[in-house]
Structure 1
Amino acid sequence: MRIPTAAKAAAALITASLVLTACSADASDTEAGSGSTSATGFSDEIVIGSTNEPTGLVRNVGGSSGISQTMTRNVYEGLTSVDVDGTVVPTLAESWDVSEDGLTYTFHLQQGVTFHDGTPFTAADVAWSISEAIGPDSKSARKNDLLVITDIAQPDEETVELTLSRRSQSLLFNLASVTVVKDGDTELTSDNGTGPYRFVEWTQGDHLTIERNADYWGEQPKNEGVTFRFFKDTTALNNALLTGDLDLVIAEDSPDQLLQFEGNDDFTITEGTSTTKQLWAFNDREAPFDDVRVRQALYKALDRERILDTVWDGYGQVIGSMVPPTDPWFIENLADEHAYDPAAAEALLDEAGVSDLEITVDYVAGEPSDTIAQLIQTDLADVGVTLTLNPIDDATWYQKIYTDHDFETTIMGHVNPRDVVWYANPDFYWGYDNADVQQWVADADAATSEEEQVELLTQVNQTIGEEAATAWLYLDPQIRVARSEISGFPVDQVTESFYVADIVRAD
């Protein structure tokens, strides 16, 4: 889930120092943007622009996708990782065995792995990292999913054994979110990663730099290092790309920003699939949203194609649930379930005995929420519903919606992959409560095969969409702009991390 900026800051312990540095004897001297290949044979440093800066370098604080974007898979690794196509692959675990009853996972660790300070990687580091991720102070987004782990054993330094309270088909996927650090460490530093890059420095408000790890246990990165430069607004971000100060922009947030790059052979524009779902969420605990007919009526009143086209001008995809195409339980035509139909919306409101409905939408002021709110307001007026717009600051939003559940409707985006299981939880902020769906979610994770899991979660997806648990609007496009000589970057965004090891600059 994307949590507004102030909420992230409240959730994370911000590192006091404005500059964190870790000088290394073999740091690259190559100038960024020089367009040359270093003497080592690797592409020179790549400079990437982003508006998503980490809020701190403390692990498992939750709410800081900036850490995942820059560090996960690049500097820090898990037992498993999620590849660019969404496949779970072995990483620090070379392989694993699963007991016949599905309750014991035995992970055989990669041999010859060292942390960036030269300390050997062992089972104790894995045990510590998992224990911390599920510990009482953890705010990891996957914490609840990982609480199925009841015991962590270390038969030897190269083996970790996890005991579960029940089967969990999603365990291997969820373990990809647990970055492994040295036993006892809580912060991300220059010493405690195992990845293809080592952390060099972070100057808050400006940049974060990582460099190629010449001692990496796996395949070497194709470039000498990467600097992530952070910007407060996309105008400054794109100006830096235009002037040659950047090689690549991770994500464009408006089609207007693309006009300056379209038709220019110096730049490449790619459109991929993201996992960011924009939605107008109802508080299903409260009347009239506890009536499925009212939710369905409000959903059918929305011209989502117009909303998407206004915000993204032809980019993106209208959706019918929280499941993006990169998740295995995606349903192709679910967006048609509640297609734009004002007459049907009015009929459902009549059937529910609702007239002269007046509701409020609380949302964080700014785009695209301002535009979305106004368009929803116009659509609802056409079916006799009055929508009051209440733009608020992000700290107020977090307390009001996510903590207190004191709202009628809200607008927000959810970024996490494979998160359908969260939304079946009646304690989640929108309060959707369907006992059948909750049982299917539990059965899916305890399934004896991936096929059974997919079948059950597809059923969950279908039902939540049909019952309009909330009004999903569209899936953000994943638009990146790079200088034409830059290649090898992922086009789709299937997790929060941005893997940089394959990015190269042509000579």
Structure 2
Amino acid sequence: MKHALKGLVTATALAAVMATGAVSADEPKRGGTLLTTLQQNPRNLNPAVQSGTVTGFPGAQLFASPLRYDDDWTPQPYLAESWSVSDDGLTVTLNLVKNAKFHDGHPITSSDVAFSVKVIQEKHPFKAMFAPVASVDTPDDHTAILNLDRPHPALMLAMSGQLMSIIPEHIYGDGQDPKSHPRNNADVVGSGPFKLVEFKNGEHVILERFDDFFIEGRPYLDKIVMRIITDPAARAIALENGELHFSGFESLPRIINRLKKVDGLNVTADGYGAIGPLDWLAINTTKGPLADKRVRQAIAYAVDRNFIQKALMQGTASDALTGIHPDSPFYEADVNPYDLDLDKANALLDEAGFAKGSDGMRFGLTIDFGWPDVKPQVEYTKAALKKVGIDVTVRASADFPAWAKRMGTMDFELSWDTVFNWGDPVIGVHRTYLSSNIAKGVWSNTQGYSNTSVDEILAAAAVETDSDKRKALYSQFQKIVNDEVPLYFTNTLPYHTVYSDKVGNPPIGIWGTSTPIDNMYLK
């Protein structure tokens, strides 16, 4: 059943399957209020029209998806009790559970699945997830048949986590724009294990158990209180004092290491493989000296990623050598790591024709950043490149939107950036490298990177249903990009989950908190 794309997958002992990911031998206990946190104020609680992890945590509790995944990337039944994929990969049949209801009591039917696909295709930021779906047939209330115009191996992951929330057609099909629908944040009618009690901007999101959830006995928790706490230090104090039971997506190294020393708290980096967060130095390949591959390679040899990981990230991040997250089954580790080598860097710059001037400098570059957490990386890069004769000027944007505009309009030379894989490479990786995504105003291939061979390899990988052949294609892709260095890869973003000893079954599968926590409980 692993990475199954063909044949029939059926649910056996659904409740037992749902327990995947348990980290405690304790018998799950029903009841209690989970005290947790969101790091930002959600703009929207409807994941069908909004991406992002802040939407994903409450959204995955309010809305169900057809599938869910265990921690070894194996699809499991959820709203779909079974599914099948035709031999040619062009038809995916979902067999829905028979007893599923929305929070207002309306039954969840195949028509809602078809409607949800249409909304995601039109309104979600990751439209490519369902672009190959030409139509959805609904022969009966519990069968949805997705008809594809080309094979789409990314579809299985796209039907899980927060990426394919099933929303009610009788609510969102009223003629209003689903993207700005008033029921996205108030009076939410969902399909998941918890229902909305209150969303108070800047303060909290409160959910409570949906008693008619389609998995018997779930969820275990009575209520979830998600306090909106934007200050990492304030979250740390709340965790230390027992005011919070749980927090996901913690990424500040000093806070992570501080919490690791607290008795009664568990801190783990497990559970973010499908989110796939990566840090990298973005390089505008269309600007001056940076258009020369040798210059980009020299920058990679001059910037010491081991220093970044050990000194700046304080040992909380993992090595990441390509644009695919190392937890992904498609990651290729056998590439040039560009270990620190100033002699190689200088030789490449000399070869490219950029001799040192009387002041020891070869040319100047600017480096941008959009949020304070990456300022240490930026300042380190300035110092590191000076050693090989590149004079770097730091440009701090007024705020995140100002920096994002610079990136989107390609008004930069170097910049530290963070990106997410979002499960399958088709969803979150291709966008960065396809030459068709070079467009000012669009935050995708902001590096202006163009390689016909890469375009062809990614196009082939997007429709290849054989997992071994896909892996070979992505290996080839990663080796080409590693050689051409449109980005210098340094590390995974150090997302960590922090949870109290009182918490059973914390969400440490591949989707982090962007997955339902119906099996989480308080001991």
Cα deviation, 1:275-304, whole Å, max 9, x if unaligned, reads 221111011233332322221111111111
| 1:493 to partner: Cα distance | 5.2
| 1:458 to partner: Cα distance | 2.2
Query: What is the rounded CA distance, in whole Å, between the counterparts of 1:271 and 1:144 in structure 2?
Result: 29
What is the letter of the counterpart of residue 165 of structure 2? T
| Contact persistence 1:254–1:311 (CA under 8 A) | no
Change (3 A) 1:484 1:252: same
2:372 equivalent to 1:366:
yes
| Contact persistence 1:209–1:227 (CA under 8 A) | yes
Q: Could you say which residue in structure 2 is the equivalent of 1:83?
A: 70
What is the letter of the counterpart of residue 205 of structure 1? G
Name which of 387, 390, 404 aligns with 1:385.
Answer: 390
| Contact persistence 1:50–1:251 (CA under 8 A) | no
Q: Could you say which residue in structure 1 is the equivalent of 2:431?
A: 422
What is the letter of the counterpart of residue 472 of structure 1? F
SS in 1 for 2:490: strand
Q: Could you say which residue in structure 1 is the equivalent of 2:265?
A: 267
| 1:171 to partner: Cα distance | 1.4
SS in 1 for 2:464: coil
SS in 1 for 2:369: strand
SS in 1 for 2:288: coil
2:42 equivalent to 1:54:
yes
SS in 2 for 1:317: coil
Query: What is the rounded CA distance, in whole Å, between the counterparts of 1:313 and 1:108 in structure 2?
Result: 47
| 1:142 to partner: Cα distance | 2.4
Q: Could you say which residue in structure 1 is the equivalent of 2:313?
A: 312
Query: 488-497 or 270-279: which moved more?
Result: 488-497
Query: What is the rounded CA distance, in whole Å, between the counterparts of 1:495 and 1:461 in structure 2?
Result: 25
Q: Could you say which residue in structure 2 is the equivalent of 1:17?
A: none
SS in 2 for 1:269: strand
What is the letter of the counterpart of residue 171 of structure 1? L
Change (3 A) 1:494 1:64: closer
The equivalences for 1:425-464 within 5 A come to: 425-426=434-435, 427=437, 428-464=445-481
Q: Could you say which residue in structure 2 is the equivalent of 1:120?
A: 107
| 1:377 to partner: Cα distance | 0.7
SS in 2 for 1:66: helix
Query: What is the rounded CA distance, in whole Å, between the counterparts of 1:351 and 1:492 in structure 2?
Result: 47
Query: What is the rounded CA distance, in whole Å, between the counterparts of 1:240 and 1:448 in structure 2?
Result: 47
Q: Could you say which residue in structure 2 is the equivalent of 1:345?
A: 345
Change (3 A) 1:493 1:287: farther
Query: What is the rounded CA distance, in whole Å, between the counterparts of 2:41 and 2:72 in structure 1?
Result: 25
| 1:242 to partner: Cα distance | 2.4
What is the letter of the counterpart of residue 313 of structure 2? W
Query: What is the rounded CA distance, in whole Å, between the counterparts of 2:120 and 2:354 in structure 1?
Result: 46
Change (3 A) 1:285 1:86: farther
Change (3 A) 1:470 1:41: closer
SS in 1 for 2:62: coil
Cα deviation, 1:34-67, whole Å, max 9, x if unaligned, reads xxx9xx9514111012313311235544454311
| Contact persistence 1:272–1:477 (CA under 8 A) | no
Query: What is the rounded CA distance, in whole Å, between the counterparts of 1:314 and 1:109 in structure 2?
Result: 44
Query: 375-384 or 144-153: which moved more?
Result: 144-153
2:65 equivalent to 1:65:
no
Q: Could you say which residue in structure 2 is the equivalent of 1:45?
A: 33
| Contact persistence 2:271–2:512 (CA under 8 A) | no
TM-score scaled by structure 1? 0.85
What is the letter of the counterpart of residue 357 of structure 1? F
Q: Could you say which residue in structure 2 is the equivalent of 1:476?
A: 493
Query: What is the rounded CA distance, in whole Å, between the counterparts of 2:145 and 2:421 in structure 1?
Result: 28
Query: What is the rounded CA distance, in whole Å, between the counterparts of 1:409 and 1:265 in structure 2?
Result: 42
| 1:148 to partner: Cα distance | 1.1
2:264 equivalent to 1:247:
no
Query: What is the rounded CA distance, in whole Å, between the counterparts of 1:445 and 1:175 in structure 2?
Result: 16
| 1:190 to partner: Cα distance | 4.7
| Contact persistence 1:223–1:503 (CA under 8 A) | yes
Query: What is the rounded CA distance, in whole Å, between the counterparts of 2:354 and 2:235 in structure 1?
Result: 47
| 1:492 to partner: Cα distance | 5.6
Query: What is the rounded CA distance, in whole Å, between the counterparts of 1:127 and 1:172 in structure 2?
Result: 16
| Contact persistence 1:420–1:461 (CA under 8 A) | no
Higher share in helix: 2
SS in 1 for 2:506: coil
Q: Could you say which residue in structure 2 is the equivalent of 1:30?
A: none
| Contact persistence 1:142–1:174 (CA under 8 A) | no
Cα deviation, 1:307-359, whole Å, max 9, x if unaligned, reads 1222221221122112122211112343x531211111111112222341211
| 1:253 to partner: Cα distance | 2.6
2:153 equivalent to 1:169:
yes
Q: Could you say which residue in structure 2 is the equivalent of 1:108?
A: 95
What is the letter of the counterpart of residue 211 of structure 1? E
| 1:372 to partner: Cα distance | 0.5
Identical counterparts, % of pairs:
25
Name which of 500, 503, 513 aligns with 1:486.
Answer: 503
Structure 1 gaps of 5+ residues are: 1-36
Change (3 A) 1:53 1:311: farther
SS in 1 for 2:403: helix
Query: What is the rounded CA distance, in whole Å, between the counterparts of 1:239 and 1:230 in structure 2?
Result: 14
Change (3 A) 1:86 1:502: same
Q: Could you say which residue in structure 2 is the equivalent of 1:32?
A: none
What is the letter of the counterpart of residue 503 of structure 2? I
Name which of 388, 391, 402 aligns with 1:396.
Answer: 402
| Contact persistence 1:265–1:484 (CA under 8 A) | no
